[in-house]
Amino acid sequence: MLEEGKHNDRFVFLEDVAEELDMAFDDSTTYYNTETGEFTYCSDYFSSEMDSVEFEDEKYIALPSRYDIREYDMMAEFADDVCDEHKSELLSVALEGEGAFRRFKDTLSRVGLEDDWYRFKEEAYIEVARKWCQDYEIPYKVRNAAHAQSAQEGNEPYRHKCCMCGSDAKIHISGTQEASYCLECHNKLMAAQTGAEMPDAVPTQIVLFDVCEEAHAFAIESMIFPHCKSIRATEVVGTTCYKENVYGELSDRFEDMWSEMVRRLEKSLSKKYMGDDASFEDMKAVGYVDYNRIHDAYEVVIDGKAYTWAQLEKNLSMYEGWKIKIEFADMGDELE
Ligand SMILES: [Zn+2]
């Protein structure tokens, strides 16, 4: 874990990191210089010609390698997600055996999904870049607003389009009445069906400040379900990931739910459970459990920061002989 303040006020654009990742070769490592913000390559073949010792300096952070990025898995996931069953199968078959990369690309052009694949791949690389920034606590920003929110949050592949307005769909209804909707159209439809109230202009983002006067930007998603409605806040910029859900009855006023959301967000930003060395400050901590797709592991997010079980274990060892209480609650419930 790097010390606080090590990276100054420097930040990277996720798009730049993703581009570096995409350009990387099998036999080279790209390093990020936290002091200058530059990326530098170091080829494993020609390392004798370069000062590779230099990169042992703490100011250099290696980007994930080709091996870590697993583009093959991205292809397999894409093939799996394609809605058209026939095309999906052709792509999956192309990925079997040797020469998979070339065959996959040939098949893509044959079934006319090249553009979709490049969009999918771009998103996947952005996610790798985001995870890398989060892991090494490198502040980041996005150039493209569509990258502000993690694609992990999406319920369905982005390729689905809203059947009412044609914009990117967020909600996919399967079964006999299969259809995709954007959030807005879905809410309009559900409001008409259930009679639930949802104002025309609901907030889509909010910025709040924590105890250290640091800004936290949240993306807001409001939804009407057949039997309830919800507001979800997900932190989208920076190194932390605070999350909050508020659920209400169909008859609840949206304004009241929104006040409750703001109250909860302000409350969680007003306290810190963990000290700088990942120690429990208060003899207690509240957070949420999250799946890390890149590491294929579950993490505990406290104060908006993800901790692996190994990191927490070190901490727990201080409390040998003490009692501990673990309590689980729905994301919409408030834990004290
Ligand atoms: Zn729509």
Predicted confidence (pLDDT) per residue in 16-62, tens digit: 999 999 887 777 788 888 888 888 877 765 554 455 556 667 788 88
**Domain assignment present for 229:** no
Residue identified by tokens 């109250």 is 263
**What is the domain count for the chain?**
1
Q: Which residues of 36-56 are buried (b: 16+ CB within 10 A; e: fewer)?
A: eeebeebeeeeeeeeeeeebe
Q: Across 49-53, 179-183, 220-224, 272-276, which has the greatest mean pLDDT?
A: 220-224
**Domain assignment present for 280:** no
Across the range 90-102, mean pLDDT stands at: 88
Across the range 56-84, mean pLDDT stands at: 85
Under DSSP, is residue 60 helix (H, G, I), strand (E, B) or coil? strand
**43 vs 15, more confident:** 15
Across the range 165-187, mean pLDDT stands at: 81
Q: Are 43 and 28 in contact (CB under 8 A)?
A: yes
pLDDT at 312: 86
pLDDT at 6: 45
CA 188 to ligand 1 center in whole angstroms: 9
CA 40 to ligand 1 center in whole angstroms: 43
pLDDT at 157: 44
CA 131 to ligand 1 center in whole angstroms: 30
**Domain assignment present for 197:** no
pLDDT over 70 at 2, yes or no: no
The residue among 21, 14, 111 whose CA lies nearest residue 63 is 21
Residue identified by tokens 């689980």 is 328
CA 80 to ligand 1 center in whole angstroms: 25
pLDDT at 182: 86
- Name residues with Cβ closer than 5 Å to ligand 1, which is an ion: 162, 164-165, 182, 185
Q: Which stretches within the chain are classed as H helix?
A: 14-23, 66-69, 71-81, 85-94, 100-111, 114-135, 183-194, 254-269, 309-316
pLDDT at 81: 85
Q: Are 133 and 147 in contact (CB under 8 A)?
A: no
**Domain assignment present for 217:** no
CA 203 to ligand 1 center in whole angstroms: 17
CA 292 to ligand 1 center in whole angstroms: 30
pLDDT at 66: 81
User: What does 11-50 look like in DSSP terms, one character per residue?
Assistant: -EEHHHHHHHHHH--TTEEEEEETTT--EEEEESTTTTTT
Q: Are 24 and 63 in contact (CB under 8 A)?
A: yes
CA 56 to ligand 1 center in whole angstroms: 51
CA atoms of 52 and 153, how far apart (whole Å): 39
Task: State what percent of residues in the chain have pLDDT above 90.
Answer: 27
pLDDT at 180: 83
Domain assignment of residue 63, given as a range: 1-147
- 242 pairs with which residues across the strands? none
**Domain assignment present for 218:** no
Residue identified by tokens 């274990």 is 313
**Lowest mean pLDDT segment, chosen from 122-126, 284-288, 297-301:** 297-301
CA 171 to ligand 1 center in whole angstroms: 10
**Domain assignment present for 277:** no
CA 151 to ligand 1 center in whole angstroms: 18
CA 34 to ligand 1 center in whole angstroms: 42
**Domain assignment present for 51:** yes
- 292 pairs with which residues across the strands? 297
pLDDT over 70 at 159, yes or no: no
CA atoms of 96 and 48, how far apart (whole Å): 38
CA 186 to ligand 1 center in whole angstroms: 7
| Res. 242 pLDDT band, cuts 50 70 90 | very high
Under DSSP, is residue 146 helix (H, G, I), strand (E, B) or coil? helix
187-233, pLDDT tens digit by residue? 998 999 898 888 877 888 899 999 888 889 898 999 998 889 999 99
pLDDT over 90 at 84, yes or no: no
Across the range 128-155, mean pLDDT stands at: 77
pLDDT at 323: 92
CA atoms of 19 and 46, how far apart (whole Å): 23
The total of other beta-carbon atoms located within 10 Å of residue 142's CB is: 17
Helix-helix angle 100-111:114-135, to 10 degrees: 130
